[in-house]
Structure 1
Amino acid sequence: MPVLKRHFLLLWLVLLAMPARAQLVLRGRVLDAETHQPIPNAQVGVADNRIGTSTNDAGRFALSIPPAYAGQPLTVALLGYQSYRQMLPPLPGPELLIELKMSPAALGEVQVTGSVLGIVREAVARIPRNYPGRPTQLTGFYRESDNDSLGRPRYLVEGLLTVYKAPYPQRTSTGEVQIRQSRKVDLRSDKLVRIDWAGGPFIAHLADFVHRRAQFIDPGHFRDYDYRLAPGSSYHDRPVYVVTFAPKAGNRRADFAGRMYIDQDTYAFLGAEWRYTPAGLRHSPNLADSRALRVAYQPYAGRWHLKTVWWQTRARLPIGPPLNYFGEFLTTAIDTAQTVRPGYLERAQYHDVFLRNAVAYDSAFWRGHTTLLPPETLRQALLDQQRQHRADSLFRPVAAGDSTSAKDAPQTLFGKFLSRFRYGGMVGAWPLSVAAAGLAVAYAPDGYGFGFQADNSVKAQSFSVYSQFEYQFELTHELAVRLATQRLYGQFRADGWAAGLSYQRNFRPRHRPLYGRAGLAYTRQTAGRELGTFANPDAGLRVAGTHLGADELSAQLQALTEALQPSLGLGLELSHKLELVADASYLLPLRTRTRLQISEESGFFLARSAAVINLPHPDVSLRDNGQLTAALPWQPRPWLFSIGLLYRLR
């Protein structure tokens, strides 16, 4: 491990235990009143849950209290327990000990499936009245880690997010996320094979089963599930339906199995926990062996808002042992008034890897915001791995003050190269003007017993469709070198390439980028017409100085155009990695040639040769509708149009 990485890990673990200084901090521990055992995942709220946190595995929490909330009540709630409520004690102060009492079960086992489904239907129907009907903004703490088969974190990333939520009557699983701060420890020693998970912070949208109307509460899938009532419980001293769901016998369309909690009075979904069925894993887009989630909501201002998300995925990889991917999100503040959507530049993109985000680490920032206290096992695992990496570094010396080892250097240089690399595909209209014609071609070289005659008819057309695959390497943020390959489709066989420079300038630097594009390239394009294949009677045949000894030959009439290609266009950034581009180009011909190409058709394809005869030529007779000519009935026109996508690797 590089020296700076070790120092950062030690500093981070110290800061995890430090009290916040920017605001007053309430520290406490929540225990079961009868067993005196710690209670994890209890919801701790202040000011009727406008700000809050949750307890860790040891039942402990730390909540930063703004001075304006010093006189507000403190509440602690967990499903199955009586809620706790008292006024905030004077701060700073000692750790507050809170004991929760169990609530008796409200219902016994009920097996009437129809009535249980009616409860779920009613809860779905009441989503518009139980959840926010206007945009809301959540501030939340996010953590993800990639653990090995022994449960040790290979990396750990934490961040403070702003999550914009659309109104819940609108069914959606998407939304905006802004990364305000982040910190990380990367303990992975392997450099060649790395799995960097994308989309993690978006779990605040993707796992919100009420907002997205997950399959198990989607009326279109009710027929796929069995719903049953389990023994009831209570939350905030209110009775709760506990509804289990699982695929019906033999059903392969149901992706989930688990349980959900529904308030008996308001029919609000208070939370759910579920796992993916084998069918659900097959329908997932990644290599997962298992996947489980747990989601809870909390009340504020008469509505229910997302509180916590926990999920774990066990993924099998093509190389190496399986990995356990773990993550959690915790809402620490709710704002129903300041809900201005973040601008495009401030928003994270789903395909951005949170582990590599560019937000700088600020220790003072973290001491002033609520985070979820890490479990003791997680802190111990990080320390153990840090010690092991320190021992490993004894055998791999690193120069003092050098934050990058020699082993890391090639990866860093390669990463810098990739960050400047883009590629993409386009389709467009190639301006190939074609007049209807009947062609007759005869070729009879002197001194050989080889020759052929071919008749061919050409249909009239005004343009051809072409595709282009393009590579770009950015010299600066605005200037790039580009190389493109082109292919025409239709009645002609045509290939070509273009090389040059591309320049783009952002017209909207404070919003979603809209680029003006300009370019200049040299292009070489052929448009050919196949004349057929012929037997070669002479193994020593030479055409235009090229030996063609294959048993079978083919012939093609071609128009070859070499030109300068200036272009203008627009580019719209769809995400930080993907750009939609549209260009108009003008061909300035440098040279246009008509030629006959004769190629070998048999033998190993890498060793096949081709000969080109420029027309007019005494050995070639070309007739167009019976008239001798040296010109072809298809010629390029100047304008080209294309539209496509460019993708940035990093």
Structure 2
Amino acid sequence: MRIVLFVFVYFFCARLTLAQSSNYQFNIVLLEKNSSKKIPYAHILQGKQLVTVSDHFGNAQINNENLEVDYTISCIGFGSLQIRLSKLNPNQRNIVFMTPDRKILEAIIITPTSLTDMIAEVYSNIPNAYQSKPHMLSGVLEERYMDTLGHANISSSAELQIQKAAYLNRNTKGEVKIDSLARQYDVKENQQYQIYAGAHIPHRFDFVMRREEFINPNSFDKYMYTYKGEREVDNRKLEVIQFEPKSKGLLGAHFRGKIYLDMNEKVFVKAKYEYTKFGILSNTASRWADQRVFITEYKSGSEGWYFAYTWDEAVNYERNFLLSQYYRTSEVTPDTISDWNYEERTHFVEAIEAKTADTVVIISKPNALPDGSYARKRRFLEFIKKIEAGFGLELYKLNAQNIDANADLIYNFEAISLNESFRIPSFDIGLSSTFRYRIRPNYILLLNQSENYNQSIKKSRWSLGMAYRLNFETLRPTHLSFSMSYAEFKNQFMFDKQLGLTPIYQQKASGLMGGLNYEIRVNPKWKIGLSYNYFYSFNDKERLYVKKKYGLFNLFSKKHDYPQESIVWRSDEGLTTPDVFDRHSFALTLMLSLE
């Protein structure tokens, strides 16, 4: 019995060893054929399935037990290459050379006045050559994020409808509806990755519609243009022009790359370009990427040229990851002004556009935290995007009355006689500023300040409090919020100057202010709000003083107080004390979200 058991264990282990040894592991290094430079982030596919991506040093690993399998290696700027595992050695590093894609034909002699004249001629023809009416694109978006260390492989796919404006004028925005959205996750080592489909890229990467600066005559002085010859694409002869920034300073150009022009039809057919990170305001939503490359193409339709295809790839060397996005138009139809409902609109506006759609947000487990500078930057950006700031008009409701003031004061042995009348209107208007910070999704910290510019009676107010916000399903996203704040109101009666002094009678009230605010969002950044506030005072103070300014440009002032009994107030009803504020105020505010 022992012999039988020994033989069984022996054959089982031998078979297991054989099975394991038959799963081959191939290590390859990708190099450029001419210069032997390493090729990072090349895609290695088996059929249409992405197997792996080479790392920053051109290294990649393939595991397969079948040696008679073909793999395709592709990388931007290189011709695709097919390899078979049987040609590789599993026991050593295999060096694979890739040939640069040099499909550009030999340069021919052209005789424009200059390259910029060629571009300007095509630029001026945009309204004639491209879609001249609003239209709708239907297509498919594919997005993939892959950590080259193998920690994550996430794919997203969405069917889109895109409302495009006519190409008659520059336009940077448009509506997008997602008809379907699917995602696949393959995440290892218990790491969390959150990724948002880039549904807005048919608008953001439409360099013709946006009149990007590398084709805009107003920005030609920022670039150096070089003629790279003629290239044949789809039986069209295209002129290839390379552009590079002239300077690398803060005011430098935002892009570098190549544009492809059809001078027969005078259209931009294609562009391959990347961000430079030189300009102050360049690629603010993509600064997390060390390199970001775009390819955008246009095709001819029955109503003119249209946005047909875009692809972009973002690489972060430090984090060792790759993000690629791909969109292709399958149908172009006239825009019938589709009435997308609330759910369809907010699915794009809130879930995608407001979340910086093409940005990867990474939250690692504790033992894989990013370095200090990266973490601080991420915390700072998380803080900034919760801030809203706004300016507006504030309408105060007042107790309308006519009131007289009399007082005899002494300052440095000189007499000051006050004898003035004030008219308090029913309403007064001031300017207001608002600062908000979103603590929780529905809880907001509020800081408000307002002031009027009435020369006779100055009013000001500041408040600090909390608001609770409710969301409503309407055609445009709207919010209703309730607030409670600590507030201080100040009224100042400004008397005429005497002896270089300004007599002031001041009333200050502190208390609680409750508010009701209604907001409607105009676009992802801007909101318009209308609010009502009621103030309840529990601490009132009065003060009579004269103010004297001194110093350079009268920047400094000193005050001398007098007893409140020194001034006498009279109205039509007899002796009185001014009661200006009627506790009610209204505000119309335009808010900007920094997200």
Specify the TM-score bucket, using the shorter chain as the normaliser. Answer: 0.5 to 0.7
CA-CA distance at 1:271 after TM superposition: 0.5
User: Any conservation in 2 of the 1:79–1:235 contact (CA below 8 Å)?
Assistant: no
RMSD: 5.9
Q: Does 1:255 align with 2:254?
A: yes
Partner of 1:297: 298
Partner of 1:267: 266
Q: Does 1:135 align with 2:138?
A: no
Partner of 1:572: 520
SS state of the match for residue 200, structure 1? coil
Listed as ranges, the matches of 1:292-441 within 5 Å are 292-301=293-302, 303-313=304-314, 321=318, 326-337=323-334, 339-343=336-340, 345=342, 346-347=344-345, 352=350, 354=352, 427-432=393-398
Deviation digits for residues 257-294 of structure 1, max 9, x if unmatched? 21111224323221011123353366443545544322
* Counterpart residue identity of residue 255, structure 1: H
CA-CA distance at 1:214 after TM superposition: 1.3
Deviation digits for residues 60-114 of structure 1, max 9, x if unmatched? 669xxxxxxxxxxxxxxx9999xxxxxxxxxxxxxxxxxxxx9985551558673
Task: From the superposition, tell whether residues 349 and 434 of structure 1 become closer, same or farther in structure 2 (CA, over 3 Å).
Answer: farther
User: Any conservation in 2 of the 1:141–1:330 contact (CA below 8 Å)?
Assistant: yes
Q: Does 1:237 align with 2:235?
A: yes
Q: Does 1:120 align with 2:86?
A: no
Number of residue-to-residue matches in the alignment? 447
SS state of the match for residue 280, structure 1? coil
SS state of the match for residue 331, structure 2? strand
Task: From the superposition, tell whether residues 427 and 149 of structure 1 become closer, same or farther in structure 2 (CA, over 3 Å).
Answer: farther
CA-CA distance at 1:117 after TM superposition: 3.0
* Counterpart residue identity of residue 530, structure 2: A
CA-CA distance at 1:428 after TM superposition: 0.8
Partner of 1:214: 212
CA-CA distance at 1:330 after TM superposition: 1.7
Partner of 1:643: 588
Task: From the superposition, tell whether residues 281 and 273 of structure 1 become closer, same or farther in structure 2 (CA, over 3 Å).
Answer: farther
For structure 1, the 5+ residue unaligned runs are 1-55, 63-77, 82-101, 358-384, 394-414, 444-452, 532-554, 599-616
Partner of 1:511: 475
Partner of 1:174: 173
User: Any conservation in 2 of the 1:559–1:635 contact (CA below 8 Å)?
Assistant: no
* Counterpart residue identity of residue 231, structure 1: G
Listed as ranges, the matches of 1:34-183 within 5 Å are 58=45, 108=107, 110=109, 114-144=113-143, 157-180=156-179, 181-183=181-183
Q: Distance between the aligned counterparts of 2:340 and 2:245, measured in 1?
A: 42
CA-CA distance at 1:166 after TM superposition: 1.5
Deviation digits for residues 205-258 of structure 1, max 9, x if unmatched? 111111112112112223443333212111112222112223457995533221
Q: Distance between the aligned counterparts of 2:438 and 2:248, measured in 1?
A: 53
Q: Distance between the aligned counterparts of 1:505 and 1:103, measured in 2?
A: 56
For structure 2, the 5+ residue unaligned runs are 1-42, 50-75, 80-100, 356-361, 369-381, 495-503, 546-561
* Counterpart residue identity of residue 296, structure 1: E
Q: Distance between the aligned counterparts of 2:220 and 2:172, measured in 1?
A: 20
Q: Distance between the aligned counterparts of 1:470 and 1:497, measured in 2?
A: 11
User: Any conservation in 2 of the 1:178–1:342 contact (CA below 8 Å)?
Assistant: no
Q: Distance between the aligned counterparts of 1:329 and 1:649, measured in 2?
A: 28
Task: From the superposition, tell whether residues 589 and 224 of structure 1 become closer, same or farther in structure 2 (CA, over 3 Å).
Answer: closer
* Counterpart residue identity of residue 310, structure 2: V
Task: From the superposition, tell whether residues 624 and 285 of structure 1 become closer, same or farther in structure 2 (CA, over 3 Å).
Answer: farther
User: Any conservation in 2 of the 1:147–1:155 contact (CA below 8 Å)?
Assistant: yes
Q: Which structure features the higher share of strand residues?
A: 2
Q: Distance between the aligned counterparts of 2:134 and 2:110, measured in 1?
A: 39
SS state of the match for residue 183, structure 1? strand
